Every structure is written in structure tokens, then in C-alpha cells.
Structure 1
């Protein structure tokens, strides 16, 4: 990218859509050489005031949504939330299958 910048190319730094509290590491590294930092949500202006909001950008869904009587839960970073969700499912639902 540095070679492209030296040759006069414009570099656009696209910040991830889930970064609300602090800039991502790649965005932090690219800031000195990028022409603009593109943000996806207005809330991202707080940690990155020099960015411009042009989003949100969405990926097209790969599968069609359909109700087949089950709940799909994906794990995330915060285990406190996952533990709360698992406890809730066990208390409120008749049949729970957990895959670890």
C-alpha cells in the first residue's frame, strides 16, 4: 500500500462496522497513509472523529430466513452474555440442544 500511495493512488480506510469503542488495529495502522477513513455508523465518530460516515454497509444474506422451530445461537467475545443466554434458554425453553 505504501508503494501505491507513493505513486499517487488514493487509499480509503474502511473501519469495521462493529467498532464503537476504539478503532480497529488495521484502521489505526492505515490512518497515517490513508486519504480518508470510512465509517459505517455515526456512533463510530466518537473514537474516530476524523472519519466520514458513508454506511452502513451490509453483506447480502447467503441463506433465506425461515422458521423451522429452532433457535440458532452463535458465540461471541463476551462470555457473560453467552452464560446469561444459556441460562435463559434452559429456564424458558422446553428442549435445548447445545453444541460446543
Structure 2
């Protein structure tokens, strides 16, 4: 189980990313637009750097939906590998069976 503070910080980060997503996309497009002058592109890049660090989506981390474990995340189920195995063995995941040969 991850610390509550880490899970809360991640949720806050997701909100910040969502709040600044449109502005970031606009500035990124302007910073690489060849039709704008170099001065305008530099201004866009400066404005992009002035945004909060947590506004960048690369700072997000996928976590287990049940207990917040940050490592071994499987996108298919939204859980960690440990939780996935437990749920699969209990038969809670339809279509998932333990292999044997």
C-alpha cells in the first residue's frame, strides 16, 4: 500500500496537468511553428518554461487503482502486477486463466 500522501500528490498533479493542458499544447505548437518569427517562438518557449513543473504530463505516474502501488502497473486492468495475479487467481478477471502445459 502506497503512502496516502503520495497518492494525494499524484491526484493533485493530475488536476494540474488537466488545468494547463490546453495552454501547454498551444505554447508547444507556437514554439515549433516555422511560420512564426524566431522572437515569437522564443517567447512561446519562455512562457512554456514559466508554467508549473507539475503541469507537464511526463511527471505523472500510473498507479494501482486499488492500493496506489507505483511500480509494475498494467494498463489493461489498471492494477499492479501483484494485484493482477491475486485477482486472476481468484477468478475476478474474466478471460484470464493461469497457463499450464
TM-score grouping bracket, smaller chain normalisation: under 0.3
Structure of higher RCO (CA pairs closer than 8 Å, 6+ residues apart): 2
TM (norm. structure 1) is 0.25
* Structure in which a larger fraction of residues adopt strand: 1
TM (norm. structure 2) is 0.25
